[in-house]
Amino acid sequence: MTQPYSIAVLPGDGIGPEVVGCALEVLDAAEARYGFRTERSEVAAGANRYLETGELFDAVDARLRDKDAILFGSMGDPRVAPGILERGFILEMRQRFQQAANVRPVRLYPGVPTPIAGLTPERCEMVIVRENTEGAYVGRGSTVHAGTPNAVAMQESLNTRAGIERVVDFSFRLALGRRRRLTLCHKTNILVAAGQLWQEVVEDLASLYPEVEVDYVHVDAMCFHLPLAPERFDVVVTDNLFGDIITDLGAVIQGGLGVATSANLNLDGSAPSMFEAIHGSAPDIAGKGWANPSGAVLSLALMLGHLGEGEAARAVEAATVEVLGGLPALAGAEMGATTAEVGTRIAELVRSGEA
Amino acid sequence: MTQPYSIAVLPGDGIGPEVVGCALEVLDAAEARYGFRTERSEVAAGANRYLETGELFDAVDARLRDKDAILFGSMGDPRVAPGILERGFILEMRQRFQQAANVRPVRLYPGVPTPIAGLTPERCEMVIVRENTEGAYVGRGSTVHAGTPNAVAMQESLNTRAGIERVVDFSFRLALGRRRRLTLCHKTNILVAAGQLWQEVVEDLASLYPEVEVDYVHVDAMCFHLPLAPERFDVVVTDNLFGDIITDLGAVIQGGLGVATSANLNLDGSAPSMFEAIHGSAPDIAGKGWANPSGAVLSLALMLGHLGEGEAARAVEAATVEVLGGLPALAGAEMGATTAEVGTRIAELVRSGEA
Ligand SMILES: CC(C)[C@H](C(=O)O)[C@@H](O)C(=O)O
Ligand SMILES: CC(C)[C@H](C(=O)O)[C@@H](O)C(=O)O
């Protein structure tokens, strides 16, 4: 029998443990059906751990680094000041594990209500690839004359050719296996230095992928095109900050945070990739059974695909889509089933091979 | 009789002259009805002038500077490289005339179709105030090792206390005359230096406006709240780059570029303010009579309000809203009337005092 995959599981805070619990039940089903195994180690991380011990990413780095993948719930708690967990854990992991590409499928699944009038699933099937380690997220900035009327704050966006190249190349390869269209999203008319470098890299790599059609859209215009003409996009590649913004708009279009999922991919095998739903810890509804576990289960599907278990990945996605389509609402008491029940339904479909 | 207001009219390129023509017809009607006068000087500017003479903002600065206001059409042409007119004219005007606040009402008018399912006019009535002279728009950036695999591009966002203060103070005063709620939109958990300065200014000024409730939303979360819960917002204040992005999302919500309008306000009387629809020059439909002039006419309403002609401003807005509500579509051959006809209808309502 083949070696088990080693998976670190970080349930995190709020609804994180509930939705990750569902993902693990679905993983059990997928293992039973598709004949692979995982060895899971649960790692406590997030607000509770920070509040108890002051520990952030540093404390768990060694326990994650040798794993094949990380399944992540969500982090955040009103008792922790904004920025602490984001910078001390999430961004730190992206940096240290060189998770260069934040991959967010924006797909409207059949039966899922979208707030965009008239939008149909056929028209909304794209992947947004966000550069995940540099740009404005390098956190370089400083203030002179702080606390005086003359204060000036500088904030820097740092963009390296190597950093851009790896996500752009990844995006071209992704597009090759899809509809062969790559759109760069930036604001090149204003952010000239950074914009030129991005454009240069896209143009240079385009010659290596002549089958892929290349397109460009300003980030502000993206606010129009994404909701009104999503069929225009196959793979969209963009910088860290613009990606942060437009992927949330993407999530709106596909029906909301409950369904959206993401992968933080290390592209050179030097450290594990991380998979998570894009919703937050939602402490207000934690423990109520109101959270939709679909985002977390779909992140499991991305993880399985990444590990090379393509068949299992497709089955988990298909089962999730089927169950999602039958829910009266996407979250809350109106969902028509509890978090755990939704998870069990998906798991059953996977186990029986019906999906 | 009182002095006429001196207005510079810049029709610009593409559909600019058509829609500005409508705004001027409505202005005639408003003058007739409300007993004020304007003295208008038309100034050629934009792509055609640039292509003929190479001239940008510099060439017209002196002819605009002494005016009471500027009515602006739109600029842009595929024959001019991206960035030239934006930086050489639009940003240059904002800078030199210290048009510190870019004000964009986001209002869903009755009868105007919005792409957001279930959104009603009562729920969508806000103003977004965008800092218009600094942030990432200062255009400071540089690249080391350009053209090599080691290229690094730095792009800087520069934020001054004075620059932030003037728009935040303006926003508080605006909120005082409205629903008394001010929301700061930023990404303080990542852009720490700039974010702290913005937050500090909002907190400091809040004590001067105790009647105004202050709120904060991250720019990524804004992509959720704007379309799904616009009723949460009264006045939103944000930085230049975030403002560029979220105001376009605002325009989507209110029914598209055809209806959206903006003011670029000089707040200290040192130079004129500028008023424009937010759509571009749309060269593909120029001359067809398909452009909806509402954005331009509504920018005239903003201009009249700014000049102190509040009654005329309200009448122009009301007339536009009435005509808009009766159009079968917002633009194109399906609009049910030509650009000029729409303008004439609005002008008639204003002239007759029926609006
Ligand atoms: C939590 C936060 C640091 C993060 C980001 O800004 O990248 C989040 O918004 C995301 O998109 O993953
Ligand atoms: C034309 C361009 C420079 C401009 C901007 O980026 O500010 C436009 O998008 C706007 O929002 O007014």
Task: Give pLDDT tens digits for B169-216.
Answer: 999 999 999 999 999 999 999 999 999 999 999 999 999 999 999 999
With CA atoms as reference, report the closest residue to B299 among B82, B94, B11, B92. Answer: B11
With CA atoms as reference, report the closest residue to A339 among A276, A287, A293, A295. Answer: A293
CATH number of B118-253: 3.40.718.10
Amino acid identity, position A2: T
Residue A200 has pLDDT above 80, yes or no: yes
Question: Which of B74, B85, B90 to mutate to test ligand 2, by most ligand atoms within 8 A of the CB atom?
Answer: B90
CB burial class (10 A; 0-12, 13-18, 19+) of residue A176?
middle
Contact check, Cβ <8 Å, A248/B224: yes
CB B255, CB B112: distance < 8 Å = yes
Report which bound ligand comes closest to the CA of A104: 1
pTM: 0.96
Compute how many other C-beta atoms are within 10 angstroms of the C-beta atom of residue B150.
11
Token digits for B269? 């009387």
Contact check, Cβ <8 Å, A219/B192: no
* Residue nearest atom 10 in ligand 2 by C-alpha distance: B244
Question: Best residue in B91, B202, B220, B225 to probe A by mutation, most A CBs within 10 Å?
Answer: B220
Amino acid identity, position A50: Y
pLDDT of A92: 96
CATH class assigned to A115-253: alpha beta
The average confidence (pLDDT) of chain B is 96
pLDDT of A257: 77
A354 pLDDT tier (thresholds 50, 70, 90): confident
Residue B339 φ then ψ, to 5°: -50, -50
What are the pLDDT digits (tens) for A257-271? 789 999 999 999 999
Residue with tokens 């950093």: A163
The average confidence (pLDDT) of chain A is 96
Distance (Å, whole) CA B181 – CA B177: 10
What are the pLDDT digits (tens) for B70-115? 999 999 999 999 889 999 999 999 999 999 999 999 999 999 999 9
A1-108+256-355: which CATH architecture?
3-Layer(aba) Sandwich (3.40)
Q: Ligand 1 centre and the CA of B187: distance in Å?
A: 10
A189 pLDDT tier (thresholds 50, 70, 90): very high
Chain A positions in Cβ-Cβ contact with residue B243 (cut-off 8 Å)? none
Residue B1 has pLDDT above 90, yes or no: no
Residue A304 has pLDDT above 60, yes or no: yes
Question: What are the domain boundaries of chain B?
Answer: 1-114+256-355, 118-253
What are the pLDDT digits (tens) for B210-238? 999 999 999 999 999 999 999 999 999 99
The DSSP 8-state label assigned to residue B81 in this structure reads: P
Residue B123 φ then ψ, to 5°: -85, -5
Contact check, Cβ <8 Å, A244/B187: yes
CB of B229 within 6 A of ligand 1: the answer is no
A242 pLDDT tier (thresholds 50, 70, 90): very high
* Domain spanning B1-114+256-355: CATH 3.40.718.10: yes
Give residues with Cβ within 8 angstroms of B149, minimum separation 6: A161, A162
Per mean pLDDT, which range of A1-5, A74-78, A172-176, B279-283 is the poorest?
A1-5
What are the pLDDT digits (tens) for B35-83? 999 999 999 999 999 999 999 999 999 999 999 999 999 999 999 998 8
Question: Best residue in A150, A154, A185, A223 to probe B by mutation, most B CBs within 10 Å?
Answer: A223
CATH topology match: B1-114+256-355 vs B118-253: yes
CB A258, CB A330: distance < 8 Å = yes
pLDDT of B2: 78
Residue A127 has pLDDT above 70, yes or no: yes
Q: Give the residue-averaged pLDDT of A1-11.
A: 92
Q: Chain B: give the shortest CA distance to residue A162, in Å.
A: 7
Distance (Å, whole) CA B344 – CA B355: 14
Residue A1 has pLDDT above 80, yes or no: no
Neighbour order of strands in the sheet with A125-131: A38-42, A5-12, A69-74, A273-277, A261-265, A101-107, A125-131, A235-238, A181-186, A213-218
What are the pLDDT digits (tens) for A84-119? 999 999 999 999 999 999 999 999 999 999 999 999
A355 pLDDT tier (thresholds 50, 70, 90): confident
What is the per-residue burial (b if ≥16 Cβ within 10 Å, else e) of A31-57? bebbebebeeeebebbbbbbeeeeebb
pLDDT of A253: 97
CB of A92 within 6 A of ligand 1: the answer is no
Contact check, Cβ <8 Å, A220/B156: no
CB B296, CB B262: distance < 8 Å = no
Q: Looking at chain B, which runs of residues are DSSP E strands? A: 5-12, 38-42, 69-74, 101-107, 125-131, 135-144, 152-160, 181-186, 213-218, 235-238, 261-265, 273-277
CB of A90 within 6 A of ligand 1: the answer is yes
